[in-house]
Structure 1
């Protein structure tokens, strides 16, 4: 007897669902040893696959529980959930797949290193302090290229990588809480940035967003900024502590990651806007932006560079801050529309960089550290970055071994002489040095330490299964 339409679709569901397991098996094999092409991402792939395997089990049970005479609407709903699950998997699969092409893989892996060095110190201190429970420990961020004009971090872009044009809106909404708990943070960069590595310093800004979001610092930072402006009226305190806080903190993190090179590269993008003098918030409709006006943002960047100075080496970064301020003033000599906020910028940055935070301790009983001691960009790093820029422009290889210093040096070299940067193959010299220092196995050593504090595989699988069950069994009344 011929099968009914429902029976045929039910049988097809089993085949369609099998793609999840086939995929995770293949990707595990492609990253299982040092010779595999995705060896660098072994831990990321293994852990994401664990979660997808749990999703496969839960979906399989739903398929097994369907009766042959199940209404077509029920079968269709489950098929759509399978497609949504495939989209969750593709959130990561598509980004690893970018590494199939060797040249792009090399570039992305180097920027991955920069993101990890900017992320790891805060993450490790949050684990040591107990602020971040071990079961929420995160793996290194995964950088990927995309067609957007500016970089962005996964935590700020709700469902950005899911295909909402597929008609799976409800299913996507259901899975969003799980995506936010996935163990691998994501950072998107413009495709064009892969060909111009001086702009990679912007990754430090995006890591700042991840730090704020992954460690749950929003409320803490908001209160800290609010307290830094005791004389300001409510509108000014709200502007800094609510509307602009996240972007200002991310800019601070960018400065801590790569020093003045980050600030100078960002100012390059801000200089030249015709409306700098008239930019004002809120706008005519009463709306505040998520960024300060360009003039106020530059003021905060200048304050952040100045705050890099260390007590034992006073004034080392003050000159860089002065040069940055003078450069902006030369490009935009007139007044701007919100001068009452100028001193606020200095106070906010001072609080963000210098106020100890409970999240950052070396031990549970230790003293809280300010962010300027969590991710330090020292005068020695700046000196080394400037020497590297000089050497590379003079047709010699840079000598530093620190990832952040090398990326800073590359940005400095481009700012000094953009034409010579390309003609003298400066970027290639920095890439060569970055590749040399990667052979030391630094990531492997760090990952060994991270894996030691993470829950074991059984516990991780149980947590993934629990997260998915919560999605499959939403609260009553939803």
Structure 2
């Protein structure tokens, strides 16, 4: 059947208009992330994502052009549906990130921008190479903070098929979609939106991202294998736990005693859960994990703080030591051989020669928490707990650590938001953190748009590769769509034949 010219023209125009919906929206987000605009710190993230989607749009335009002279209605409408599917796939991919950027225009905008600043601070100094786009933070309904690596598959919006009335879960789509996205992410539980001290775990999650991006595991696993530890425990326990241990140690280096205190609160549970046998393949047993953090504190010079935290931990889960009033100890721990390994494990990971970091982790002065950092954070914590007292300066790291230190001293005081309260609130702390942020897009260390970036790769050099990635993704999705349609057509033919 030949298509009526008027209807053909209307359908083509409709499809072209639908295809423009992506370009129109991406241009608006590009404008919002220019210098002096609300999302200027996300300039690079928006552009690299948009460039990949531009590659997908290129394929859409190519497919739309093919529909200029349809020969029959069946193929015309099939191709219309095929292109509409791809348009919605682009929107579906972008929607995952659209939600994150849009949240920075709502009631949590300042908090999310502060969290982004923390992630950038923890992320950028650790690499001697050109640093790609930093992670994007967001809130989710997951129980714990979590990092999503660059190029990893991401969960995205599920949709209902207009014709079939159900959500397609074709594995062909799942394998093709989102495996080339360039932006790493860190999610935090929604309930942490009112509990800033737990934002310290951004340092832990950033450790995971750096471990993945710089391929650090090969260095610390080699070092662990050379440690003076029984080989069966190395192979059966420490190697499988090493990514989480690395992330904890990275966070201790970034934030010192404040992170160790936050970890203690985070993993606290019943005595049975803490001290009974554990064979979790990903995480060390809670008591062992705490011992690792305390050992790291001692190794970077915070012996007294480590001892104080140890006493709090032991008083909660241990027993009184005879003839030593006020002293507690955890004795007869079921996995005591692991505790005995802790000093060697910590030394192996902190002192390993990391090829792509250019030095052992413990020698990274750009991130290592110092006594000066701790003194300032402690002073700010006292300010936070003193009604009407101005805060004693400090950068974002010290302010974040101070929030945790203040919470440990007097839980609840930092977050008193009653109108007559003279104590600092979380909002005031976030405002001070953002007030220190240099204006401009995040294109390099100088934050100066006129200065070539000494750190971040030039976007122009990445554009062609990013666009080609988008083209490949779009073509793979179309191939998956065609394969599904072919299977459906074959199944229909078989069914009709059986009934015939």
**CA distance in 2: counterparts of 1:431 and 1:173, whole angstroms:** 40
Instruction: Please tell me whether residue 324 in structure 1 is matched to residue 309 in structure 2.
Output: yes
| Pairs within 5 Å for 1:217-232 | 217-228=216-227, 230-232=228-230
**Structure having the higher Rg:** 2
8 Å CA contact retained: 1:272, 1:331: no
Shift of the alpha carbon at 1:112? 1.1
Per the alignment, in what secondary structure is the counterpart of residue 244 of structure 1? helix
Instruction: Please tell me whether residue 270 in structure 1 is matched to residue 271 in structure 2.
Output: no
Instruction: Please tell me whether residue 307 in structure 1 is matched to residue 290 in structure 2.
Output: no
Residue by residue over 1:190-241, the C-alpha shift from the partner in whole angstroms, topping out at 9 and shown as x without a partner, is 222121111111111111111111222233333232333x442335434221
8 Å CA contact retained: 1:141, 1:186: yes
Change (3 A) 1:429 1:459: closer
Residue by residue over 1:24-77, the C-alpha shift from the partner in whole angstroms, topping out at 9 and shown as x without a partner, is 11112222231x222232232233222222221123223434673538666545
The aligned counterpart of 1:291 is 283
Moved more, 440-449 or 396-405: 440-449
**CA distance in 1: counterparts of 2:196 and 2:208, whole angstroms:** 21
Instruction: Please tell me whether residue 398 in structure 1 is matched to residue 397 in structure 2.
Output: no
The aligned counterpart of 1:48 is 49
Change (3 A) 1:73 1:233: farther
Shift of the alpha carbon at 1:261? 0.6
| Pairs within 5 Å for 1:7-18 | 12-18=14-20
The aligned counterpart of 1:154 is 148
**CA distance in 1: counterparts of 2:362 and 2:5, whole angstroms:** 65
Change (3 A) 1:451 1:82: farther
List alignment gaps of at least 5 residues for structure 1.
128-136, 283-287, 310-316, 362-367
Moved more, 46-55 or 377-386: 46-55
Instruction: Please tell me whether residue 118 in structure 1 is matched to residue 113 in structure 2.
Output: no
8 Å CA contact retained: 1:201, 1:262: yes
The aligned counterpart of 1:240 is 238
**CA distance in 1: counterparts of 2:247 and 2:235, whole angstroms:** 18
Q: 1:419 aligns with which of 412, 432, 437?
A: 412
**What TM-score, normalized by structure 2, do the two folds share?**
0.79
8 Å CA contact retained: 1:401, 1:437: no
Residue by residue over 1:278-300, the C-alpha shift from the partner in whole angstroms, topping out at 9 and shown as x without a partner, is 54343xxxxx4311111111111
The aligned counterpart of 2:26 is 24
8 Å CA contact retained: 1:155, 1:210: yes
Change (3 A) 1:227 1:14: farther
Shift of the alpha carbon at 1:276? 2.6
8 Å CA contact retained: 1:397, 1:429: no
The aligned counterpart of 1:171 is 173
Per the alignment, in what secondary structure is the counterpart of residue 419 of structure 1? coil
**What TM-score, normalized by structure 1, do the two folds share?**
0.83
Change (3 A) 1:152 1:270: same
**CA distance in 1: counterparts of 2:384 and 2:441, whole angstroms:** 24
Per the alignment, in what secondary structure is the counterpart of residue 400 of structure 1? coil
Per the alignment, in what secondary structure is the counterpart of residue 153 of structure 1? strand
Residue by residue over 1:380-424, the C-alpha shift from the partner in whole angstroms, topping out at 9 and shown as x without a partner, is 101110011012211312223321111001110111001333342
RMSD of the alignment, in Å? Answer: 3.1
